Structure 1
Amino acid sequence: MTGRRLWIDASAGVAGDMLLGALLDAGASLDAVRAAVATVAGGAVEIGTHEVSRAGLRALKAEVTMAEIDSPERTWRDVHALLAAAGLPDPVRAAAVATFRRLAEAEARVHGISPDEVHFHEVGALDAIADVVGCCAALADLGVTVVSAGPVALGSGSVRAHHGRLPVPVPAVAELARGWQASAGGDGELATPTGMALVRSLAGTCEPLPPMTLDAVGVGAGTRDPADRANVVRVFLGEPSREPSREPDEELLLLECNVDDLDPRLWPGVLAGLLELGAADAWLTPILMKKGRPAHTLSVLGRPGLGPALRDRIFRDTSTLGIRHSPRGRVALERAFVRVPVGDDTVAVKIAHRDGVLLQVMPEFEDIAELARRSGRPERLVLHDAIAAAAAAGLVVGRSAEGFDQVGVVGQVGGQQRQHVPW
């Protein structure tokens, strides 16, 4: 199981056409992208490219133009039907559907409605659909197996939209950015809903540029050319670096306290809050305290530099009067997440490996539960399908982990000539 990895630099913002331009600049076939888009839009959309300058830097501008007038408003159900009926390779279709599903769920949360009731406006037009399908097809053509990205600049100020003037980041972008590292980065709308949805769907991990043998750098241009910054998205494409086998001994901090007077219904939120803050792990152990009182020991493991913040959170969210702390070492297997297609969606599969060999393979249960909820199928059947999809993709204990050796990476896998590898 081999493949290339791609890292997205969205530090100046991101839009669908900017990411498409960067992927084409990195070597993706324009013909392959046009063919994929044509299966969805027929001859109604045309894609071209030309070189431009942004703040003095060369960049490739992807131009998506309409051959005829198109109604920009479609429901999530309309977009899903378009993609389902198109003659796309399954991995490309699954990635495109997953991207628009993220958009629908973000819009639904913003407007307080169900995803099926969402009407896309600016992102429902065929040119936006072409951006999404084009990016997914470009990744497949490049043979990318792992995608990650850096922090995203969202912008500031306000922008005119279908519902009137909205603050930047617009509500859908703000919702899509939850859980991701973000900054204002400048004036105006720097991240669009389509661009942010592509980042969140294709790249599940926010990280600095990871180790790789670099093959290409692609630079995609935005429409504007502000004087204060280069309005571009960059992608870095290469082969994952193979590091020598090692036993990574991390220095961590263990925080513990005994609590016997907290409403037990509060514990799930306490644990979730500590993990969201950055704890490596957090758990409860039932104990028996003096005078036979039942209680729990709260244990929290994290980086030493995070110790003060974790202590503050424990004091804030629990009734403890004191916290014990001690240094701990940890040896961990290299871990990664790989998304596999299940029906017209994707599910994250956690893998752990050592010396280039897969030792653990298991679908993420939160993804299983969410897909079961949306589809109305039992969780056990969705789990069975995900395990089968992982095995069909070659994610089997004892096999090579080549191409998936970056810690904490959630990515997609593509390649029309390698249908056994998931995307």
Structure 2
Amino acid sequence: MKTLYIECNMGIAGDMLMGALAEIAPAETVERLCALKIPGTEISFEHSEKCGIGGTHAHVFVHGEEEGHDGEHSHGEHGHDAEHGYHHGHAYPYEKDHLPEHYHGHGNAGEHGHDAGHGHDAEHEHHHGHHHYGMGDIESIISGLPVSASVKENALAIYKRIASAESRVHGQPVSEIHFHEVGAMDAVADVVGNCLLLEAIGAERIVSSPVNVGSGSVRCAHGILPVPAPATAEILKGTEYYSDEIRGELCTPTGAAILTHFADETGARPRMRVDSVGVGAGTKDFPRANILRVFLGEAREISDGNRTAGDETQPEGRDFRSAADEEMFCGSADEGMLCCSGDDSQMDRICELSANIDDMTGEELGFAMERILDAGALDVYYTPIIMKKSRPAVKLSCLCRREKAKAMAEVIFRHTRTAGIRRLDFVRYVLQRESTERDGLRIKTYRGYGVERSKPEYEDLAELARSRDGSLIGMKGEKE
């Protein structure tokens, strides 16, 4: 499975993620991103080094100004505007000139939404005449961009996530949340840019590390707030994050919103063959490299509720990129399926085919299970899961013989709406099975690994119960 891992050891900001993704995305997509006609906005990328580590720094200029650099916009971030000095439904900035050094936060270009350096009273508009933008304005701008419907949908959902967090923090409806022009356009560039790059990269699964949010405090026009700032904390609900000795704001609302929208899960880097690594560089310097890394590759083992990547106590799973890979691990398809383990026990080789499904009814899922079993599956079951955007869904799991895997995949595609099926191959321990007949009932007996147990075939037992107008309870007669 094509997997993207996002390493947030120094937090996450929209421009840092955009810089990292630009290193692994197709060159034509990066060129297309730089050519996007976001009103008054220019996007560019340049090489940068942090603690000797090279990476890509994303620049977002709005009317020639860039948040995150010395000058009127120190490092403000779009999403943060309303949360720092929110007043009369408008977002107000940091007062950079009054900040001691440790209040200057992460310092990532285009991040931290505070419209730094404005430092004016509510009645005093910025001398460049910047506007305030509400969600309606943002929706109109994003909807008019020359990007795919999927990019627009994801970008709008992320921006709404930021506005909803601001709304909850300040007790104001979303319609009254407004952002200064530089912060608003900077955020649109970061959000749309990351959505566009992620679409081009095409990861089927996105995993993130726990997020380092930094520590200490940040100052806004109307007071001092703790890290993580209130809106960031709202967005990160349900996500693992932590603070360490780094002083400053490492996770911004925009970075948090992008991450929580796209990430399927949080945890350690999965067991995977890494094909490419991207490094995004921030602006500010810390004792530790101010970078965000992304890893793209093929996951070799997929986490589920009972098995985690690298868990050596569980049967080992593999995904195969070619028939040669498959044969090298499992042997040829026409070899005997059962093999001796050295005593009277046996092992065999099976496949697990799985898919996440969120757009089928219970009746449709039931019929699909019936057809897959009829096609020769060893077992089929559904597991309730929650997918991104908090959508309830099910994970379909089908166990089958290796030689039937392709045919089973065809049946799954025919009877479900999934567009992709994952495959894992296992070697499993099995008990030897023997079938006999006793008192008109077929009896299954299992032996091996110091165990022996028997039970009647269900259909025979059920027919006996019907003939006696009785119950199955107490009739199984299982013998250990």
**TM-score under structure 2 normalisation?**
0.51
Instruction: For residue 297 of structure 2, give the secondary structure of its aligned residue in structure 1.
Output: strand
Q: Which of 273, 278, 290 matches 1:218?
A: 278
Cα distance change, pair 74–244 in 1 and its aligned pair in 2 (3 A): closer
Instruction: For residue 126 of structure 1, give the secondary structure of its aligned residue in structure 2.
Output: helix
Cα distance change, pair 350–6 in 1 and its aligned pair in 2 (3 A): same
Alpha-carbon shift at residue 91 of structure 1 (Å): 0.9
1:190 maps to 2:250: yes
Instruction: For residue 129 of structure 1, give the secondary structure of its aligned residue in structure 2.
Output: helix
* Separation in 1, partners of 2:286, 2:47: 17
Cα distance change, pair 105–13 in 1 and its aligned pair in 2 (3 A): same
1:397 maps to 2:416: yes
Letter aligned with residue 23 of structure 1: L
1:108 maps to 2:170: no
Question: What's the CA shift string for 1:92-125, capped at 9, x where partnerless?
Answer: 1111011101101100000001222211348842
1:86 maps to 2:145: yes
Report the counterpart of residue 63 of structure 1 in structure 2.
59
* Separation in 2, partners of 1:36, 1:66: 15
Cα distance change, pair 221–213 in 1 and its aligned pair in 2 (3 A): same
Report the counterpart of residue 41 of structure 1 in structure 2.
38
- CA-based RMSD of the aligned residues comes to 3.6
Report the counterpart of residue 394 of structure 2 in structure 1.
351
The answer on whether the counterparts of 1:61 and 1:222 sit within 8 Å (CA) in structure 2 is: yes
The answer on whether the counterparts of 1:153 and 1:183 sit within 8 Å (CA) in structure 2 is: yes
Report the counterpart of residue 20 of structure 1 in structure 2.
18
Instruction: For residue 239 of structure 2, give the secondary structure of its aligned residue in structure 1.
Output: coil
Question: What's the CA shift string for 1:359-389, capped at 9, x where partnerless?
Answer: xxxxxxxxxxxxxxxxxxxxxxxxxxxxxxx
Letter aligned with residue 397 of structure 1: T
The answer on whether the counterparts of 2:381 and 2:396 sit within 8 Å (CA) in structure 1 is: no
Cα distance change, pair 404–187 in 1 and its aligned pair in 2 (3 A): farther
Letter aligned with residue 13 of structure 2: A
* Separation in 2, partners of 1:398, 1:160: 50
Letter aligned with residue 24 of structure 1: A
The answer on whether the counterparts of 1:122 and 1:162 sit within 8 Å (CA) in structure 2 is: no
Report the counterpart of residue 264 of structure 1 in structure 2.
none
Structure-to-structure mapping, 1:304-315, within 5 angstroms: none
The answer on whether the counterparts of 2:4 and 2:296 sit within 8 Å (CA) in structure 1 is: yes
Instruction: For residue 233 of structure 2, give the secondary structure of its aligned residue in structure 1.
Output: helix
User: Which structure's relative contact order is higher, taking Cα pairs within 8 Å and 6+ residues apart?
Assistant: 1
1:160 maps to 2:219: yes
Alpha-carbon shift at residue 207 of structure 1 (Å): 1.9
1:178 maps to 2:237: yes
The answer on whether the counterparts of 1:336 and 1:404 sit within 8 Å (CA) in structure 2 is: no
Moved more, 182-191 or 66-75: 66-75
* Separation in 2, partners of 1:137, 1:121: 24
The answer on whether the counterparts of 2:384 and 2:392 sit within 8 Å (CA) in structure 1 is: no
Report the counterpart of residue 457 of structure 2 in structure 1.
none
Report the counterpart of residue 32 of structure 1 in structure 2.
29
The answer on whether the counterparts of 2:3 and 2:296 sit within 8 Å (CA) in structure 1 is: yes
* Separation in 2, partners of 1:149, 1:157: 24
Letter aligned with residue 402 of structure 1: I
1:11 maps to 2:9: yes
Instruction: For residue 217 of structure 1, give the secondary structure of its aligned residue in structure 2.
Output: strand
* Separation in 2, partners of 1:246, 1:67: 50
Aligned residues: 279
* Separation in 1, partners of 2:305, 2:267: 22
* Separation in 2, partners of 1:247, 1:177: 26
Letter aligned with residue 234 of structure 1: R
Instruction: For residue 159 of structure 1, give the secondary structure of its aligned residue in structure 2.
Output: strand
The answer on whether the counterparts of 2:210 and 2:266 sit within 8 Å (CA) in structure 1 is: yes
Instruction: For residue 61 of structure 1, give the secondary structure of its aligned residue in structure 2.
Output: strand
Letter aligned with residue 7 of structure 1: Y
Question: What's the CA shift string for 1:71-101, capped at 9, x where partnerless?
Answer: 3732122111211222320111111011101
Letter aligned with residue 217 of structure 1: V
Cα distance change, pair 33–400 in 1 and its aligned pair in 2 (3 A): closer
Cα distance change, pair 109–398 in 1 and its aligned pair in 2 (3 A): closer
Instruction: For residue 125 of structure 1, give the secondary structure of its aligned residue in structure 2.
Output: helix
* Separation in 2, partners of 1:105, 1:90: 22
- Bigger Rg, which one: 2
Alpha-carbon shift at residue 65 of structure 1 (Å): 2.0
* Separation in 1, partners of 2:181, 2:423: 36
Cα distance change, pair 404–198 in 1 and its aligned pair in 2 (3 A): farther
Q: Which of 38, 43, 47 matches 1:51?
A: 47
Cα distance change, pair 139–123 in 1 and its aligned pair in 2 (3 A): farther
Alpha-carbon shift at residue 153 of structure 1 (Å): 0.9
The answer on whether the counterparts of 1:168 and 1:189 sit within 8 Å (CA) in structure 2 is: yes
The answer on whether the counterparts of 1:214 and 1:236 sit within 8 Å (CA) in structure 2 is: yes
Instruction: For residue 22 of structure 1, give the secondary structure of its aligned residue in structure 2.
Output: helix
Instruction: For residue 48 of structure 1, give the secondary structure of its aligned residue in structure 2.
Output: strand
Cα distance change, pair 41–332 in 1 and its aligned pair in 2 (3 A): same
The answer on whether the counterparts of 1:148 and 1:206 sit within 8 Å (CA) in structure 2 is: yes
Q: Percent same amino acid at aligned positions?
A: 35
The answer on whether the counterparts of 1:38 and 1:45 sit within 8 Å (CA) in structure 2 is: no
Question: What's the CA shift string for 1:275-333, capped at 9, x where partnerless?
Answer: xxxxxxxxxxxxxxxxxxxxxxxxxxxxxxxxxxxxxxxxxxxxxxxxxxxxxxxx986
The answer on whether the counterparts of 1:248 and 1:332 sit within 8 Å (CA) in structure 2 is: no
* Separation in 2, partners of 1:197, 1:404: 32
1:230 maps to 2:289: yes
Instruction: For residue 103 of structure 1, give the secondary structure of its aligned residue in structure 2.
Output: helix
Question: What's the CA shift string for 1:131-154, capped at 9, x where partnerless?
Answer: 111100001111222212111111
The answer on whether the counterparts of 1:6 and 1:147 sit within 8 Å (CA) in structure 2 is: yes
Letter aligned with residue 32 of structure 1: T
* Separation in 1, partners of 2:419, 2:201: 21
Question: What's the CA shift string for 1:247-301, capped at 9, x where partnerless?
Answer: 96999xxxxxxxxxxxxxxxxxxxxxxxxxxxxxxxxxxxxxxxxxxxxxxxxxx
Instruction: For residue 180 of structure 1, give the secondary structure of its aligned residue in structure 2.
Output: coil
Report the counterpart of residue 186 of structure 2 in structure 1.
127
* Separation in 2, partners of 1:245, 1:190: 30
Cα distance change, pair 153–161 in 1 and its aligned pair in 2 (3 A): same
